[in-house]
Amino acid sequence: MTLRTDRLVLSAPGPADADDVVAYANDPDVIAFTPVPVPYGHAEAHQFIERVGDGWRDDTRYDFGIRRVDDPRLLGTVGVFGFVDGAAEIGYALHPDGRGHGFVTEAAARVLEWAFAAPPIGLGLVRVQWRALGTNAASAATARRIGMRYEGRSRSAVVHRGVRHDQLLAAVLRDDDRTAPTDWPTP
Ligand SMILES: CC(C)(COP(=O)(O)OP(=O)(O)OC[C@H]1O[C@@H](n2cnc3c(N)ncnc32)[C@H](O)[C@@H]1OP(=O)(O)O)[C@@H](O)C(=O)NCCC(=O)NCCS
């Protein structure tokens, strides 16, 4: 499965992408805000790539690698997972080299379009949610840009690397207008 946007090609990462996965998985923000193993080397990257393949094969999660149309380097991933009764969750991460250009916004918006499209074109989902640690302003900004409506802050709801954090929740429904809402609280 390959999805395309003006600037990006989205398709499952493969074994040849292991170095690129190691590169973004070691970024301090990825470590600070996602549950990647620490330390993260080639063994972890290959396990991740295998899990991505398993997810596509058994329809439990769909992870897309993010690449620029003119560059085979894997910059990051955007995935949908946690399928329950027509709802799912979206997650993303990008190497710092690719940040600040709107690539994740573009990639995640395209994945949402696919996730909401009726089968056989898409998954036919009705709701996609986003969750993040309460301090993850960059992820929240991306979630807002793809049309997620803010649904709240669960206080002290998650433990990340041994520390309790608030968790932010937002979601977009299939029939929502996907322009960025203006009523998100400032982080
Ligand atoms: C969250 C993360 C993926 C966001 O990356 P990003 O590049 O900032 O995301 P976007 O694609 O939404 O790009 C937005 C930036 O591009 C800029 N931009 C440029 N052109 C743009 C365009 N056409 N469309 C949207 N934004 C654009 C925006 O102004 C913004 O820059 P700013 O932050 O300086 O204002 C990244 O910070 C990351 O990987 N963090 C670590 C992992 C993580 O936290 N994942 C989420 C866990 S919940």
The answer, yes or no, to whether any atom of ligand 1 lies below 6 A from the CB of 66, is: no
pLDDT digits (tens, 9 = 90+) for 88-121: 999 999 999 999 999 999 999 999 999 999 999 9
Distance 110 CA to ligand 1 centre (A): 15
Query: DSSP secondary structure string, 77-124?
Result: EEEEEEEETTEEEEEEEE-GGGTTSSHHHHHHHHHHHHHHSPTTTS--
The answer, yes or no, to whether any atom of ligand 1 lies below 6 A from the CB of 67, is: no
Distance 150 CA to ligand 1 centre (A): 17
Confidence check: pLDDT of 187 > 70? no
Which pLDDT value is given to residue 160?
98
pLDDT digits (tens, 9 = 90+) for 116-147: 999 999 999 999 999 999 999 999 999 999 99
Instruction: Answer whether 168's CB lies under 8 Å from 160's CB.
Output: no
Which pLDDT value is given to residue 186?
80
The answer, yes or no, to whether any atom of ligand 1 lies below 6 A from the CB of 129, is: no
**Ligand 1, atom 30: nearest CA belongs to which residue?**
100
pLDDT digits (tens, 9 = 90+) for 10-67: 999 999 999 999 999 999 999 999 999 999 999 999 999 999 999 999 999 999 999 9
Q: Which of 80, 128, 139 to mutate to test the pocket of ligand 1 (most atoms within 8 A of CB)?
A: 139
The answer, yes or no, to whether any atom of ligand 1 lies below 6 A from the CB of 94, is: yes
